[in-house]
Structure 1
Amino acid sequence: MSTTLQFTKGHGTGNDFVLFADPDGLVDLSPAQIAAIADRHFGVGGDGVIRAVRSRHIPDGAAALAEDGDAEWFMDYHNADGTPAEMCGNGIRVFARYLIDNGLTELADGDTLAIGTRGGVRDLQRNLTGFQVDLGRWALDGGEPLVRARNLDVARPGLGIDVGNPHVVVALASEEELDSADLSYIPHLDPTPADGANVEFVVPLEPMIKDGVGRIRMRVHERGSGETLSCGTGAAAAALAVRHWAGAGAPNQWQVQVPGGTVGVRMFPTQDGEHVSLSGPAELVFQGELSI
C-alpha cells in the first residue's frame, strides 16, 4: 500500500534537504525509503531527509522535552543513505523556516525557538542572514587521527571536534591543494572512529583576520551523504579547529566560505562552558507530492 507524501525541498547554502510534516508520528519510513527519496537520479534528491514531528510522539523526543519543555517540535534528520544523524546545522535552520512558513510555529524577532534533535535541544533566533542556532557546548573529541584523501599526496593529521556530532578537521597548505582533493571518495581515518565522522578540509583566506573576524575556506565530506556544498556543524568545527591552531589572540567570530556560500560562526561564554553558534540563510525552493 502506497503512502502519498507532501514534501518541501529546502537548502542552506546549497546543503539541501527534503522535508515533510508528520506531527503525530504516524509515518515510519525505512532507511531504504529515505535513501530512495534522497536519491538524486530516481528520487527527489537531497543531502538528507527531515521529518517534522512533535516531540511527544516519538521516543527520541522524550529526552528533548525533559531537557526543555518548550521543544514542541523534533527534527528527525536522516542522511542521504538513510542513517540517522545527531544534528545538522544547516538542516535545523531550514527546518525552522519550514515550520514557520507552514504555520506550525511562530518566531518573532528577539524570541527563541527550541528544537529537539538527537544531539539535544537547540535554540534558534532570527538574524539578518536568516537564522542563528546555538549549537551548544563543543569539545575536542576524537584525538588527532591521520586522514588520507584521494589526490592528496600524504596523510595529514586531523583534529577531532564534537559539536553535537563528530568531526575531524584537516588543515591544508593552499587553496590549490584544497581544490585538488577528490571528496567523491570517503576519506580514510586512522584510527577509524566507531561511529564515523564528518571530515572537513580547510585553508585560511588572505588575510586570515580582517576587521577582527577570522576567514577560512572549507570543503567537506559528510558521513552518510558524501561531499556536500555546505555543512553547518562542519563550518563550526572548522572555525573552532583553526582558532585552536592559531592560539591566543585568535578571534571568536568567523566567516566560513563553503562551495554553496558563506556562513557565520561565533564562540561565546555561558554558565555551562563555551558555546558555538552558526548563522546563515535558509531557503525553501519547491513543494511536491511523492508516492512511497
Structure 2
Amino acid sequence: MADVAFTKGHGTGNDFVVVSDPDGDLDLTDDQVAALCDRRFGIGADGLLRVVRSARIPEGEAVLSEDGAAEWFMDYRNADGSKAEMCGNGVRVFARFLLDSGLTELAEDAELAVGTRAGVKRVTRSDDGFRVDIGPWRTTAAEPTVRARGLSVARPGLGIDVGNPHIVVALASEQELEGLDLTVLPIVEPLPEHGANIEFVVPEDPLVSGGVGHVRMRVFERGVGETLSCGTGVAATALAVREWAGTGAPDRWRVDVPGGTLGVTMEQREDGEHVLLSGPAALVYTGTVALAD
C-alpha cells in the first residue's frame, strides 16, 4: 500500500478529502475514493478533490481550449467514487488549497480560473471567503415528482441545471423540512438519466428583506446522501424560488443550510444570466493515509 498525503477541508460543513497530484500520477479507483471518504473506516468526507494540472488530465484539454489560464483542474469525485461535473463548495475549498499551499496567487481584484468537468469556473475573493461564477443555468423540460420519507404525498419538483443536475422541491413549513428522513434516497419520477441532487426548501418569513431573498434548504446529494451543504444546490434553490416568486423577485439571496449560510447573486452577461455563489472555505488538518491497492 502506498502512502498518500491529504488535506481535510470543508465549505459550510460540506467536507472533502483534498489530494495534491499536480502531475497526474495518481489513478484512483472508485473503490479507493470510497474508502478514503468512508466515515468509519477512512478519513471521512462527502467527496474527494484531486488537485491536478489541466494539462495532465484528459478532461483538461477542453478546459484549456476554453481558457488557457485554467492551469488547475478540480477532479471531483463523490463519496461513492463516481465522477461529478461540479461542486460549488468544492471549488472554494479547491481555491483555498491552491492559495495556502503556494500553488497559485490571487490578488484582491483578480480572478482564478479553475477547470472542472462543467467547464471553467472563475473564483474571486469575497467578504465571506470566495465567490464562484458557476456560469449560465437553465431549467429542464422534465416535470418530476419527488417522494421522500416524511412527506405524505409526492411533491412536484423543478429541474435546474447549473452545470450539474438538480431538482428543487418546495415544502409548506419548517416542520415538513425538519421532519424529512434523508437517510433514505428520495424517489424521483421520472429519474434523470444521470440522476440529480434533490433540494427541499422553505421560505423564511418574510421571504424578502432589504432586497435580499431568504430561504432554508436541506439536500440529498447523488452518490453521497444528505450533506450539511451543497453549493450548486444552494444556487439551484435560489433560482427555483425566484422563479416561483415571479416578477419583482430579487437577484440576491441568502440560503441557510445545516452547515451555515451561503450567498447567491444572479447577473446578466453577454452569454446569458450567470449565477454566482459566495461563502467560506476552510482547511482543517493534513495527514498521510495508506492507499489500499
Fold shared by both chains (TM-score > 0.5) = yes
Unpaired stretches in structure 2, ≥5 consecutive residues: none
Q: Distance in 2 between matches of 1:38 and 1:142?
A: 34
1:130 aligns with 2:129: yes
The residue that corresponds to 2:20 in the other structure is 21
Q: Which secondary structure state, in structure 1, belongs to the residue aligned with residue 68 of structure 2?
A: coil
CA contact (8 A) 1:144 1:160 kept: yes
Unpaired stretches in structure 1, ≥5 consecutive residues: none
Q: Distance in 2 between matches of 1:143 and 1:101?
A: 42
CA deviation profile, 1:110-162 (whole Å, cap 9, x unmatched): 10000000010000000100000000000001522010001110000000000
Cα 1:234–1:18 change in 2 (3 A) is: same
Cα 1:135–1:224 change in 2 (3 A) is: same
Q: Which secondary structure state, in structure 1, belongs to the residue aligned with residue 117 of structure 2?
A: coil
Q: How does 1:21-100 map to 2 (within 5 A)?
A: 21-100=20-99
Q: Which secondary structure state, in structure 1, belongs to the residue aligned with residue 39 of structure 2?
A: coil
The number of residues matched between the two structures is: 291
The residue that corresponds to 2:191 in the other structure is 192
Aligned structure 1 segments of 4 or more residues deviating by more than 3 angstroms: none
Paired AA for residue 256 in structure 1: V
The residue that corresponds to 1:119 in the other structure is 118
Q: How does 1:95-174 map to 2 (within 5 A)?
A: 95-174=94-173
Shift of 1:91: 0.4
Shift of 1:3: 1.6
CA deviation profile, 1:194-252 (whole Å, cap 9, x unmatched): 10000000000011101000000000000001000000000000000000000000000
Paired AA for residue 114 in structure 1: A
Q: Which secondary structure state, in structure 2, belongs to the residue aligned with residue 70 of structure 1?
A: coil
Q: Distance in 1 between matches of 2:146 and 2:8?
A: 33
Paired AA for residue 155 in structure 1: A
Q: Which secondary structure state, in structure 2, belongs to the residue aligned with residue 279 of structure 1?
A: strand
Q: Distance in 2 between matches of 1:237 and 1:82?
A: 24
CA deviation profile, 1:143-197 (whole Å, cap 9, x unmatched): 2201000111000000000000000000000010000011111110001111000
1:280 aligns with 2:279: yes
Q: Distance in 1 between matches of 2:195 and 2:182?
A: 16
1:226 aligns with 2:225: yes
Q: Distance in 2 between matches of 1:225 and 1:67?
A: 30
The residue that corresponds to 1:12 in the other structure is 11
Q: Distance in 2 between matches of 1:89 and 1:185?
A: 24
Give the TM-score normalised by structure 1: 0.99
Give the TM-score normalised by structure 2: 0.99
Q: Which secondary structure state, in structure 2, belongs to the residue aligned with residue 136 of structure 1?
A: strand
CA deviation profile, 1:75-123 (whole Å, cap 9, x unmatched): 0000000000000000000000000000001001010000000010000
CA contact (8 A) 1:13 1:261 kept: yes
* Amino-acid identity (%): 63
- Over aligned residues, Cα RMSD in angstroms? 0.5
CA deviation profile, 1:2-50 (whole Å, cap 9, x unmatched): 2211100000000000001100000001000000000000000000001
